[in-house]
Each structure stands twice: as C-alpha cells, then as structure tokens.
Amino acid sequence: MATETLFEIALTVNGVVRETKVPARRLLSDCLRHDLGLTGTHVGCEHGVCGCCTVLLDGEPVRSCLTFAVTAAGHEITTVEGLAAPDGTLSPVQRAFRECHALQCGFCTPGFLCTATALLAENPAPTDEEILEGISGNLCRCTGYQNIIKAVHRAAEIAAEEAAADAGDAAPGRAADEP
C-alpha cells in the first residue's frame, strides 16, 4: 500500500509563521481547522457557495474550502481568530456585528466578518448597494441580512472615528485635553 506524499509548507496565519506537513489535496479549511487547530473557520457547503469558510489570503477574501493548502504556502492568511488585536480588542467589524446584532446562530459569522473586513479595506464608506454586492457570496439562514448591512455601515463609522482619533493624537503640539 502506497503512502501519500506530504509537503512541508509554511503559512503566515494571523501574523504567526506556522509550519505543517500536508498532502497535496488538503484543503486550506481542513489545514486551518485540523492541522493548525484554528476552528473559527467554519465549513458549510464545501462547494464554495455559502461563504462560511471565507478567510483573507493576502488581504483578499477566498473560500478556504476551494483552496489547496499547498497553494497558500508563503502567503499571509487571516482567519476570524486574527481579526482582533493581539490584546483581544475586537476589530471595528467584530464590534459592529455585536453592537448591531448581526448574527444569530453564528455559523456564517466568521465568513461574514472576513468578507466585511476586506470590503471595508477596499471601500471604507460603502453604500447599501456596495455592501450587498460585497457580501453577496455569503449566505445566512437566520438574520435576513438587514442587521448585517447595518453592521457593515457601523463598522465603517467606527473605523472612521478611530482613524480621526489617531490622527488627532498624532497632531504635533496638541495637548491631550485639547479638542
């Protein structure tokens, strides 16, 4: 009986270089979940239709159930676990989803969070139509999408507020208590 050839790969996942051995046919979703223990990436349809397994590959949303792990070697992968800051502070998208009740059962949430993160990185102030287009590859069976759309708008507001505050903090010669 022949054994399957394993390939050594190095992936930068959530800012950490992770090394593992995988067969050529191992899907990125399975590598993340089973080989690396990052179970936040959910697997739904396994056909690339539902978007539950969406992760960011070099900042772009990809279906990890359609991507071979070996093809991701040497690339930067961000999973839902990597969206929060190292100290655990939730990202603007995560906070907005919580604040706007944009999740119910939560199964689709990791994919939506990664998709919305990429959308806002590309378009920091999207319209309703742009949000609908941006999230059109993700399916939710619980929410009806209205709160998801609200959450993406709220995340854009939070990110803009934080950017303005950071710009104010960086202004030379300003006292901390000046408006």
- pLDDT reading at 59 higher than 90: yes
- Out of 43-47, 93-97, 110-114, least confident range: 43-47
Task: Give the rounded percent of residues in the chain with a pLDDT score beyond 90.
Answer: 86
**% of the chain residues with pLDDT over 70:** 94
Mean per-residue pLDDT of the chain: 93
- 151 or 167: whose pLDDT is higher? 151
The closest of 88, 99, 81 to 18, measured between CA atoms, is: 81
Average pLDDT over residues 142-165: 94
Domains within the chain, CATH numbers bracketed: 6-82 (3.10.20.30), 92-169 (1.10.150.120)
pLDDT of residue 167: 87
Q: Does residue 175 surpass a pLDDT of 60?
A: no
User: Average pLDDT of 76-82?
Assistant: 98
pLDDT of 172 above 80: no
> Alpha helix locations (H) across 106-145?
109-122, 128-134
Q: Token digits for 134?
A: 């941006």
> Which residue pairs from 33-42 have beta carbons closer than 8 angstroms and sit at least 24 positions apart in sequence?
35/69, 36/11, 38/13, 38/14, 38/79, 38/81, 40/79, 40/80, 40/81, 40/110, 41/79, 41/80, 41/110, 42/107, 42/108, 42/110, 42/111
Model pLDDT for residues 13-32, shown as the tens digit of each residue: 999 999 999 999 999 999 99
Contact in structure between 116 and 98 (CB atoms under 8 Å):
no
